Chains A and B, each alone.
Chain A
Amino acid sequence: MEIPAILAEALSKRYAPDAPAAVDSLSFRMPRGATWGLLGGNGAGKTTTIAMLLGLLVPSGGRITVLGHDMARDRFAALARMNFSSPYIALPSRLSVAENLRVYAHLYDVPEAERRIGELAAQLQLTDLLDRPAGQLSAGQKTRVALAKSLVNRPELLLLDEPTASLDPDTGDWVRSWLERYRAETGCSILLASHNMAEVERLCGHVLMLKQGRVVDSGSPAELLGKYGREDLEQVFLDIARGRQRVPA
């Protein structure tokens, strides 16, 4: 049987013994090469789930295996083969784009780092920005730099937290097209958390709908639309968030 990109088994997280579960008995098996979406309202458990997958947060229960590595015992082996991007975590603003990418090339022990940085800069249209301090870039440029950082080690698994948040529609579309092309070319597995339903519908082959830390539904976007009798994922999201019944088949 092929080793999955992510295997989560009965994953749970409580921030305090008497607090409600932020994530509750979450289980899924994400195959290699797939793009999956984590959908849910604020407090649904998306960020907690991603933090546990990254090893930033220790689960209260359950088990995570990433690319065949048990995250409780062997997380650094997994972290070397994956990467992460979020608009909510910055890169040092006084360092230039090239310096930032160089730092992460060292941290991920990337061979021929300068060549890799040049490649990424060309692909993500950053060549003219390499000497600019990261803090002086526009939101769109910062997103492209964050993407370059997350790809510096040629990850086999990419975790993206709202990859197009605060971008204008044109730049957002450019990023989505780029991710589609990158996945097709490299076979990289992608798990993204997003509030942008159109983005999830476009990029993801499978969606996990979270509510109060639990998976309340899952399937391909087409399957979910059929199940709920809706025309777009936003309506499905609202049905689930507001506890409305699905339309019987």
Chain B
Amino acid sequence: MNRAALRRVWGIIYRHLALYRRSWPRVLELMYWPVLQMVVWGFVTSYLAGVQGNTASVAAGVLLGGVLLWEVALRSQMGFSLSFLEEIWSRNLGHVFVSPLRPRELVAALMGMSIIRVLVGVLPAMLLAWLLYSFGILTMGPVVVGFFAALLVMGWAVALGVTALILRYGAGAEALAWSILFGLTPFSAVFYPVSILPGWLQPVALALPSAHVFEGMRQALRDGTVATGHLLAAFALDAAWLALMGFVFLRQFQSARVRGALLNIGE
């Protein structure tokens, strides 16, 4: 990417940062759900740990770790999809698409916004987990950075698919931007191992990067070892899903240009 391309990417990121600068409810909303999730699940794990008589139980860590890491995937996907929807809601997409901004640069800018939204949303929840429940996700070691990255990229892949659907079906598909990743929760084995799932469902789960991340997280919390195989599988699946969804997005973008959908996508 050359300097002009980087500046175009920054132009889109700047547009969203300017929006947040003028709207504190939007910033608050970024933190609200991750913090709320952490508080609720924190009390649940405190209760369970109390019942078991073991305040430092691995089960508590597995639940809180699952909540925090799953928020990374959720916020990553929403950060990308909702930033795209923001352009539709403000009826600005026409101006953006007649500028020299390439589709891949728009995607890069939306990924940038996704990272910012993840950090703003998840860091306060992590801090709260540490302060209230003495759960430090970083105690898993450097491998947690790999887990974060794998889930971040998975969020982008799903978001590219959602954005492609919005390009195909218009703003009517925007509900998917809020809900689609919740539908993957059961198959992502966030709170239980893949082996709990019925046999026929396990290959589906193992086709998702998230299932490998959470298997790896449980191993790190339980044994203190790094599940290199799961981490590599997560990144390999991320690459495959990102390439596939990137292709779908570009095809839908071109199709929208043929159908004239970019003229009235907000309607």
Interface residues of A (CB under 8 A from B): 15, 47-48, 51, 54-58, 76, 79-80, 83-84, 86, 89-96, 99, 102-109, 133, 149
Contact = CB atoms under 8 A, between A and B. Distances in A.
A57 B254 CA distance: 9
B100 A79 contact: yes
Interface string B9-25: 01110110011001100
B22 A95 contact: yes
Nearest to A95: B18
Nearest to A84: B98
Interface residues of B, number: 31
Contacts of B97: 55-56
Contacts of B22: 94-96, 133
Contacts of A56: 94, 97-98, 257, 260, 262-263
Contacts of A96: 18, 22
B228 interface: no
Given A86-B94, A92-B15, A107-B8, A57 B257 contact: yes
A168 to B, nearest CB: 23
Nearest to B2: A109
8 contacts: A48-B260, A79-B98, A84-B95, A91-B95, A93-B90, A94-B19, A94-B23, A103-B14
Given A79-B100, A90-B91, A149-B95, A15 B19 contact: no
Contacts of B92: 89-92
Contacts of A99: 14-15, 18
Contact of A79 (B11, B90, B99): B99
Contacts of A108: 99-100
Contact of B96 (A51, A83, A107): A107
B251 interface: no
Contacts of A79: 98-100
A56 B4 CA distance: 21
A107 B101 contact: yes
A51 to B, nearest CB: 6
Given A86-B94, A95-B22, A80 B100 contact: yes
Contact of A106 (B11, B98, B254): B11
A92 B85 CA distance: 12
A57 B262 contact: yes
A178 to B, nearest CB: 20
B19 A95 contact: yes
CB-CB nearest 10 A-B residue pairs: A106-B11, A89-B94, A90-B91, A107-B99, A109-B4, A80-B100, A92-B90, A99-B18, A107-B11, A103-B15
